[in-house]
Structure 1
Amino acid sequence: MDDCGRVDDRQGTAARGHSAATLYEASTHSLACSASLQPAWPGAEVSGRAFTVRGRGGDNLALHHAVLQAPSGTVLTVDVQGAEYGHWGEVLAVAARTRGIAGLIIDGGVRDTEAMSQMGFPVFSSGTSVVGTRKDWFGQFGGTIRVGGAAVRSGDLVVADADGVVIISAEHAREALESADERVAKEAAFMDQLRNGATTVDLLDLPSIERTQSQSGP
């Protein structure tokens, strides 16, 4: 909980602490967003249920209203068509933090990245820009949007960290988390074997140089 009594999921409780890479590899139902979506500041990470917003490039009125509409603990997940404007900055980040919003994923530009880093508000965007925006269109909330090339619906699980942004459909989220739990346990045993001298070639049954040479003959 944050100091306003609202859920703050920046520590990854919605994803049980699993990384984006682990969840992507553990589930066949996960979607990886384009690498164009990057953390706005080093160390940013967030997980939670998506609250989807469809806006217009160069117009951020939808984002102001999304802050009012989104349930506490959700991740604002926004399609503004990758437009290179400063759709989101320190003012909206403070407003969102106060209302318990966990973070922002936006296919479009943001600004004030240093200020958001200092306050620890996690943002993933397709770029940064100082160019200002209009405030004309209220936008659309809920439903399916596309962010970084991946389809996202309100309620889907969103996990974002230094490795990328992953979307898992709401109906498969529990299954994905359980698969990730199993994967992490197996990887822990795998790491122990490596520390005790086993090789990745043997453990993964990869082709070896010696085996290949013996099969090809002199």
Structure 2
Amino acid sequence: MEVGTIQRLPQEIVEGFKGLCTSTIGNVLDDMKIQGVIPNIKPVHHGFSCVGSALTVKEVTGVLGTYTNADFKLGQVIDTTEAGDVVVIDNAGHQVSTWGGIASFAAKNRGVSGLVVDGGVRDLEEIVEFGFPVFSRHVLPISGKGRVKITAMNTVVKIDGVMVSPGDVIVADGTGIVCVPAGVAAEVLKIAREFERQDRMAIEEVKKGLSFSEALKKFAKM
């Protein structure tokens, strides 16, 4: 397995994204001409959300028996995580599970913020019981053992068309997922906070009787 390096941003930047909605961040990324919205991967349970530094994983998949259990080095991945990470797995959207209940428990026990997987997960009831935020393309009971090989960790991966580098900021909520490139994260955070301030002002103005069309003109970024 190829193992790259991860440079995590200062905690105050990453945690600054907590409480910001993905819609607002998506607006900022649009203005900056950055493709960061991951469109087709959704929370596996209502209410799941997470923010953290991307720890990336690359996998390949074949039919049962293509790989050995030893090729599925998920334990090594989890043992490498740090508190506040979001594990981001690129399995090219295959309909096979690469994560389950015990992995969720182990990751949460280490302080991992959540999981984003372009592929599948299983043990949904346990994931919900443990309260570990998971965002996945598929939920199905097909094991990755014998079918999946982890080929790289902390290298650039492609998740639903979006390039994710180790250390990028992942923000995921009920609306969807955004990847904020580490190099512009501080700037995105500053602008997103201003956008949300304007949103709050718009709500107050509408409460006072301002029409929605007038609010759209007055607060262009809402």
Q: Quick check: TM above 0.5?
A: yes
- Tell me the CA shift for residue 52 of structure 1: 0.6
Identity %: 27
Q: 1:155 aligns with which of 167, 171, 182?
A: 167
Could you tell me whether the CA contact under 8 Å between 2:60 and 2:150 is conserved in 1? no
Q: Look at both structures and tell me which one has the larger radius of gyration over its CA atoms.
A: 1
Q: Give the match for residue 4 of structure 2.
A: none
Comparing 194-203 with 156-165, greater Cα deviation is found at: 194-203
Could you tell me whether the CA contact under 8 Å between 1:57 and 1:82 is conserved in 2? no
Q: Give the match for residue 24 of structure 1.
A: 26
CA deviations over 1:58-77 (Å, ceiling 9, x no partner): 67714332101222211000
Q: 1:13 aligns with which of 12, 15, 19?
A: 15
Using the alignment, how far apart are the partners of 2:55 and 2:217 within structure 1? 43
Q: Which one-letter code corresponds to 1:43 in the other structure?
A: G
Task: Answer 1 or 2: higher relative contact order, Cα 8 Å, separation at least 6.
Answer: 2
Asked if residue 173 in structure 1 is aligned to residue 185 in structure 2, the reply is yes
Q: 2:155 aligns with which of 120, 127, 143?
A: 143
Could you tell me whether the CA contact under 8 Å between 2:90 and 2:118 is conserved in 1? yes
Using the alignment, how far apart are the partners of 2:51 and 2:160 within structure 1? 16
Could you tell me whether the CA contact under 8 Å between 1:54 and 1:79 is conserved in 2? yes
CA deviations over 1:66-112 (Å, ceiling 9, x no partner): 10122221100010111111211101111111222111000001011
Which structure 1 residue ranges, 4+ long, deviate > 4 Å from structure 2?
none
- Tell me the CA shift for residue 132 of structure 1: 1.4
Asked if residue 74 in structure 1 is aligned to residue 85 in structure 2, the reply is yes
Could you tell me whether the CA contact under 8 Å between 1:54 and 1:62 is conserved in 2? no
The answer for unaligned runs of 5 or more in structure 1 is 1-8, 207-218
Please report the TM-score for the alignment, with normalisation by the length of structure 2: 0.81
Asked if residue 56 in structure 1 is aligned to residue 80 in structure 2, the reply is no
Asked if residue 43 in structure 1 is aligned to residue 47 in structure 2, the reply is yes
Q: 1:121 is paired with a residue of what secondary structure? A: coil
- Tell me the CA shift for residue 51 of structure 1: 0.5
Using the alignment, how far apart are the partners of 2:215 and 2:109 within structure 1? 49
- Tell me the CA shift for residue 128 of structure 1: 0.7
CA RMSD between the two structures: 2.1
Please report the TM-score for the alignment, with normalisation by the length of structure 1: 0.83
Q: Give the match for residue 86 of structure 1.
A: 97
- Tell me the CA shift for residue 13 of structure 1: 3.1
Using the alignment, how far apart are the partners of 2:118 and 2:80 within structure 1? 19
Using the alignment, how far apart are the partners of 1:169 and 1:182 within structure 2? 19
Q: Give the match for residue 119 of structure 2.
A: 108
Structure 1 residues 14, 66: closer, same or farther in 2, change over 3 A? Answer: farther
Q: 1:55 is paired with a residue of what secondary structure? A: strand
Using the alignment, how far apart are the partners of 1:64 and 1:118 within structure 2? 21
